[in-house]
Structure 1
Amino acid sequence: MPAPAPPAPALLAQITAELAAGEDLRTLLERFLAPLVQIAQARAGAVRMLSADGERFELVGTLGLPASLQDTEQLADRHCGFCGEGVDQARVVWTRELRPCALRTGDAFFAGPGRSALAVPLRHGQRVLGIYNLFLDDDREPAPGVLLLLRSVGELLGLALEKHRLEAENLRATVAQERQRMAAELHDAVAQNLTFVKMRLPLLHDAIQACNQESALALLEDVRDTLVEAHGSLREIVTHFRTGVDPRGLAAALETLAARFTVRTGIPLEVDNRLPALQLAQDAQAEVFHIVQEALANVERHAGARHGWLAIEPGLGRVEIRIEDDGVGTPARGGAPASASAHYGLDIMRERAQRLGGLLAVTPRPGGGTMVRCSLPLPCGGSA
């Protein structure tokens, strides 16, 4: 004998708790099918989600339906019969008229004597995202209290569906944004180099054909240097998108970054970290690390600097990060014109700062050179 359905308050509390726990959506919908069948004293039940285009019901799970219906019920027209009425009117619908179901499936299950059915919309506001079907061996409409409970359950589970839909949309938007960002970086950092190589190859071919060894060697050197640069840029992009922050924390990651910068470029970089115990969430650490990484990459590529400085210090409820150099300065002060890739790098740094609720500014440095200043709110529980 099946276990009795939980009392209404207990069932609603259980659904609420499992919504907060973030359980797999389909598992959640299927799990509550059995209590709903018991509450309605139904013979069988099914739970369906609306397709992305809103035109089809997609079967999630069934209980008590004959095996002959498992295949035919996988997809159903969203406008069909009492289910379509439940979606259109966003309310619980009870009906004795099951002939559309019998005609659609050709199955005798829907033509049983005294058979009736319920459609319980999974509703969030006026938006319906799925539906429960309950099939009864009773041609009397369920009591108002039962219908009210079924509606309440449908609204709670509709909230779960809406949450799932929003999370899926957010994930798609995030993936699209990351793809766009990577594509732009590849275009700026690699495609231009490959275009240069493509232009040099015909000249190299002509020099070889003319037996002009000096010109051929010079062009070969150009091609080799450009390919090395493209390879380095590609490795940097892959690292930028796939490498996490040092597990020892942000301070250790920045110390390592600074040391590598000096070894690679020969430019001394002084680090003044007055917040060595700063506690940030993992995602925030990654954003800060990549802001500093991009700023130092710009010093290496464009500044022509002899010295650099990295400072992290407390402000009034904020964290201040400064990357300075004594190079040629910003274009506004007569420095070298910024390349498209440099502008794009600055845009990415600003986006990262904005995601943390902060601001990023690039200004001339007093005494010459450039200063990148990033001001971020100090997180709750952070150490200053």
Structure 2
Amino acid sequence: MTDNPALSKPGHAKFLGRFKRLWFHNSLADRNSSFSCGARTRIFIYLSAIAAVFLLLLASFLIPHDFHPALVRSLQVILISTGVAALGLVVYFFQRDFLLPLMHLRHWVHLMRGGFLHAQIPVVKDAEFADLAEDLNMIGIMLLKLSEDAENQLQEHTKHITSKTRSLQILYDLSASINYSGNMDDLLSKFLQTICNVANAEAATVRLFEDNHFRLVKSYGLEKFHKLDEHLLLVHEYPRGEAILNGKVVWDEAVDWDLTDMPGNNQRQHVGIVSVPLAYRNRILGLFNLFIDMRNLGNRKEMKTLLLSIGQHCGMAIEKTRLDAEAHRLNIMEEREHLSHELHDSLAQTLVSLRFQIRVLDETVESDDKQSLWQQLERIENTIDEANTELRELITHFRAPIDKRGVMVALKQIVRRFQEETEISIFLQQEWPEVTLPGNMEIQVLRIIQETLANIRKHSEAHTVRILLRSDHEGEFTVLVEDDGVGFDKPATSNHPGEHIGLGIMRERAQKIGGELIVDSEPGEGTRVVLKFSYPQKKISCTNIQTLAGK
């Protein structure tokens, strides 16, 4: 409430001081003593006059009747007339000095209670109640002044609340527009037009801080200045130091534009320039420059607060737009990486399998075994069909084909295919519950198993492979793929793009489902690949062991 100008008025103190000087002009004891003494004196006089009247009347009746009758009658008439006249005077003065002031006081109280605070008690000079009437009139004046001040304060409060409500509505609209702005240009246009309307600015510019300097990106209303456009821009070519360093709104009133060379203008116009920082978390992202006619400026303190809030909202919107653009860019990169992984784990694996089958085909051709030749050609044809299917699926959905009946059916197909293409015995042991995992989780699990089998086929020289799928009641899933091959010391690396990058991709896939991939291998001891991830389930699974023996 301290920012309300209505509360800073000195009217109360000034008026109360004046009232105190009038009210306590004489000491309260002296006024009470004077009033009591005067009232007692007047009452004593009135009572004495009444007593004298009664004595005169009594004396007129006590005169002997045998004493000169005519003289007695005349004397009685004189005494009675004098007594009646004296009594009338007593009644008149009593009504004037007591009854009439009380009637005026009662009427004044009635008017004051009715809201007529300007009512006054008639003051008779040198009357007994003159001081009291003056004091009551002063109280009435004080109440009237307090009422007027309260009304003025109420109007100021109403105006203040209306201004705050308008400011909040503006900020609410700007906050809502942040979520619907399609790009930076639309966003800045919205804020620029809004801030011009709020500040009654004739023109405005906005600069964004990029590459350690401020770049003009948007303007509004500068066409009104015609030839002065370039001059106006040069005035604030360098950023406002105070606004940038302290994040404050800066006013510059010492700008006087000569508009005599513009159509319809024959005078100089005093235009203030307001610099509003666009800040977000103590970082200056840009700057508003407003060109305002100082005659149209309202409450500067409230305007500065509102402009600063608009600048902060604009800074937040700019940062959000930048973050959205960065998120969109990262999303595109992630999609590209995802597509490359899918190509590596699906189509690339199929092509590798096709390469092995062609080698077998060469050996079959040399052996001149037609039956085996036709079988191998049929396998190659099936592999090409699978590659075509995977490629079409990648083009349409960017994901590998997963059997609609679940991950186990797709895994069995992978195992059967591995068994048909190699001379390695493979065992699949399932201890998973009969539930459906999320699609993305199924893809990542299958791709990790598929990449592991591809590495076994290419590098392990193994004779036996075991795949174990296990889970517990808390939804902890484990995938184990182990072989009895030659093993290795460290994962093989290569400078050739696309070769021997499977382990890194497998770890990335495990991280995408919140899991962990552990690779354990020693030379001559084979290799163990363990995938652990969580997905809470309620059903308890039964064990199903399936053995697929190779040739």
TM exceeding 0.5: yes
Confirm or deny that 1:122 pairs with 2:274.
no
Answering whether residue 463 of structure 2 is matched by residue 309 of structure 1, we say no
Per the alignment, residue 113 of structure 1 pairs with 269
Aligned match for 1:259, one of 394, 401, 413: 413
- Residue 17 of structure 1, CA deviation: 3.3
Matches within 5 A, 1:1-384: 7-20=166-179, 23-51=182-210, 53-60=211-218, 62-66=219-223, 80-81=237-238, 83=240, 85-98=242-255, 113-138=269-294, 143-169=300-326, 244-245=398-399, 252=406, 255-256=409-410, 259-260=413-414, 262-263=416-417, 266=420, 270=428, 272=430, 274=433, 276-279=435-438, 287-288=444-445, 290-303=447-460, 304=462, 306-309=464-467, 311=469, 313=471, 316-318=474-476, 320-328=477-485, 330-331=487-488, 338=492, 340=494, 344-363=501-520, 369-378=526-535
Distance 1:98 1:82 in 2: 16
- SS of equivalent to 1:114: strand
The 3-state SS of whatever aligns with 1:148 is: helix
How far does the alpha carbon of each residue in 1:19-41 deviate from its partner, in whole angstroms, 9 at most, with x for none? 35675343223223222211111
The residue type paired with residue 373 of structure 1 is: V
Check whether the contact 1:275–1:383 (CA below 8 A) recurs between aligned residues: no
Check conservation: 1:250, 1:285, Cα contact below 8 A. Answer: no
| TM-score, length-scaled by structure 1 | 0.61
* Structure 2: distance between partners of 1:174 and 1:257: 29
> 2:44 maps to which residue?
none
Q: Residues 371 and 145 (structure 1 numbering): CA distance in 2 closer, same or farther, change over 3 Å?
A: same
Secondary structure of the structure 2 residue equivalent to 1:328: coil
Contact kept in structure 2, 1:45 and 1:132, CA below 8 Å: yes
Q: 1:216-266: per-residue Cα shift (whole Å, max 9, x none)?
A: xxxxxxxxxxxxxxxxxxxx99x9999633587897477446525643662
Amino acid at match of 1:263: R
Spell out, residue by residue over 1:281-335, the C-alpha distance to the aligned partner (whole angstroms, 9 max, x if none): x5x66655543443333233223455453637456354x2415143415325xxx
Residue identity (%): 26
Q: Retained in 1: the 8 A contact 2:510–2:516?
A: yes
- List alignment gaps of at least 5 residues for structure 1: 191-235
State whether residues 214 and 286 of structure 2, in contact with CA within 8 Å, keep that contact through their aligned partners in structure 1: no
Structure 2: runs of 5 or more not aligned: 1-162, 349-389, 540-551
1:157 shift after superposition: 2.1
CA 1:117–1:378: 2 relative to 1, 3 Å = farther
Specify whether residues 312 and 342 from structure 1 end up closer, same or farther in structure 2 by C-alpha distance, changes over 3 A only. Answer: farther
Q: 2:181 and 2:221 mapped to 1: Cα distance?
A: 27
Q: Give CA deviations for 1:331-361 in whole Å, capped at 9, x if unaligned.
A: 25xxx98454786422232233234443211
Letter in 2 for 1:36: I
Residue 64 of structure 1, CA deviation? 2.0
Distance 2:282 2:492 in 1: 52
Tell me the secondary structure at the aligned position of residue 66 of structure 1. helix
State the 1:66 CA deviation. 0.3
How far 1:113 moved relative to its partner?
0.7
Partner SS state of residue 266, structure 1 = helix
Does the residue aligned with 1:373 lie in a helix, a strand or coil? strand
Which region of structure 1 is more displaced relative to structure 2, 5-14 or 172-181?
172-181
TM-score (normalised: structure 2): 0.45
- Higher-Rg member (1/2): 2
The answer to whether the Cα contact below 8 Å between 1:44 and 1:64 also exists between their aligned partners in 2 is yes
Conservation of the 8 A alpha-carbon contact between 2:519 and 2:529: yes
Q: How far is the alpha carbon of 1:129 from its aligned partner?
A: 1.0
Could you tell me whether the CA contact under 8 Å between 1:50 and 1:78 is conserved in 2? no
Distance in 2 between residues matched to 1:22 and 1:177, nearest whole Å? 25
8 Å CA contact 2:479–2:530 kept in 1: the answer is yes
Output the CA distance in 1 between the equivalents of 2:176 and 2:288. 20
Residue 131 of structure 1 aligns with an amino acid whose one-letter code is L
Measured after TM superposition, the shift of residue 14 of structure 1 is 2.8
Letter in 1 for 2:185: R
Aligned 8 A contact 2:394 2:400 in 1: no
Residues 161, 270 of structure 1: alpha-carbon distance in 2 compared, 3 angstrom cutoff: same
The C-alpha deviation readout for 1:160-204, integer Å capped at 9, x for no partner, is 222333454566667778989979x99xxx9xxxxxxxxxxxxxx
SS state at 1:87 partner: helix
Query: Could you say which structure has the greater relative contact order, defined with CA pairs below 8 angstroms and 6 or more residues apart?
Result: 1
| CA offsets 1:93-127 (integer angstroms, 9 cap, x no match) | 2213458x99xxxx999x96111122222101221
CA contact (8 A) 1:47 1:59 kept: yes
Distance 1:337 1:42, change over 3 A: closer
Distance in 1 between residues matched to 2:222 and 2:442, nearest whole Å: 52
Quick one: structure 1 residues 360 and 122, their matched pair in 2 at CA, closer, same or farther if it must change by over 3 Å?
same
Specify whether residues 362 and 328 from structure 1 end up closer, same or farther in structure 2 by C-alpha distance, changes over 3 A only.
same
Query: Partners in 2 of 1:241 and 1:83 — Cα distance?
Result: 54
Q: 1:156 aligns to what SS in structure 2?
A: helix
